[in-house]
Amino acid sequence: MNFRNVFCGVLVGVCYSATAYADNQAGTQEGPLGYAQPGPAPYAQPQPYGAPAPIAPMATEPVSTVSQGILDDAGSGGLWLSPTALLAPAGTWTFEDNELFFVGGSYSFTDQFTMSMHTLIPLTDEFASPYIITGKFGLIDQGQLRLAMTGNVFGILGSGNDDFFSAGFGGVASYCLDVKCHSLINGYIGALALINSGSGSSASIPIVFSGGLAQKLSNRVKLIVEVDGGAVVGEYDAVGDGLLAWYGLRFGNDFIGVNVGFAKPIIDGNDSEVLPMGLPWVNFVYRALPGS
């Protein structure tokens, strides 16, 4: 046997053994015909150059439970005079103006509790200043039904016998006509109990009630209708012989709402010939949602 051939054979064998050992350490072993064969993988393979690094999951904001109709309508908390059972999310504040002289504002402490205060701007030095402070607390938010209770403090700051102070409570129900609560029918009833008066006390309790409708006509326009009435129970019982009807349109979006319409007194079914359409009325509300 030629020595050169023996040497080449030994060299080829050594090279083949080294290659097989390296492939086995990397997790594969090349067979005699060049096919890769599985082998033990004692450690994880490194990521190839340029591969994206793993991305840690990001924290997400909790999903709001407030209906979209509330978020889209700055005036969703009320119709004309009557409140609705809809409540804005926590941290929301509003400023409201009626005919430029009856002003007020509100703040939502939680998704279920809002407080507001309204007063009449004094026109003269001797003008008595009425005020009303209201708290609204949500009770039920189930499907398309909303129920809330209200507590009111009402008074007049004047002089002499004009000073008085009273408190009351009420309940309001709103039924959404669509899933997102852009349209609704509304009902409210409330009572005031006289606590203190410069002219003495009374055992009679005035009761107010109202019903209304908010109907979405487009993304920026709603039809707003409300009918108000009243009665007195206690020492002197009586039912009001008239109603006050409100109707008009609301123009707005998520941060401002403007009601333009008429207030029409209806007494014993008689119609007024002086203002057949009613008294023109305009009010607006500016709202700032949390984070805006």
Picking from 134, 171, 150, 142, the residue whose alpha carbon sits closest to that of residue 67 is 142
**pLDDT (0 to 100) of residue 174:** 98
Say if residues 198 and 165 touch (Cβ distance below 8 Å): no
**pLDDT (0 to 100) of residue 270:** 64
Specify if 5 maps to a domain.
no
Specify if 25 maps to a domain.
no
Say if residues 24 and 40 touch (Cβ distance below 8 Å): yes
Angle at 110 between CA 106 and CA 113, to 5 degrees: 60
**pLDDT (0 to 100) of residue 267:** 83
Query: Using one digit for the tens of pLDDT, what is the confidence trace for 102-111?
Result: 999 999 999 9
**Total domains in the fold of the chain:** 1
What does the alpha-carbon distance between residue 103 and residue 96 come to, in Å, rounded to a whole number? 6
Specify if 245 maps to a domain.
yes
DSSP H/E element including 283: strand 279-288
**CATH number for 189:** 2.40.160.40
**pLDDT (0 to 100) of residue 30:** 46
Specify if 56 maps to a domain.
no
Specify if 191 maps to a domain.
yes
Pairing of strands 221-233, 238-239: antiparallel
**pLDDT (0 to 100) of residue 51:** 56
Domain extent, residue 139, equals: 86-288
Specify if 107 maps to a domain.
yes
**pLDDT (0 to 100) of residue 273:** 67
**Mean pLDDT of residues grouped by 10 in the chain (292 residues)?**
48 50 48 49 56 61 77 97 97 94 96 96 77 96 96 79 80 97 98 68 82 97 97 76 93 97 84 79 96 82
Pairing of strands 242-252, 256-267: antiparallel
**pLDDT (0 to 100) of residue 115:** 98
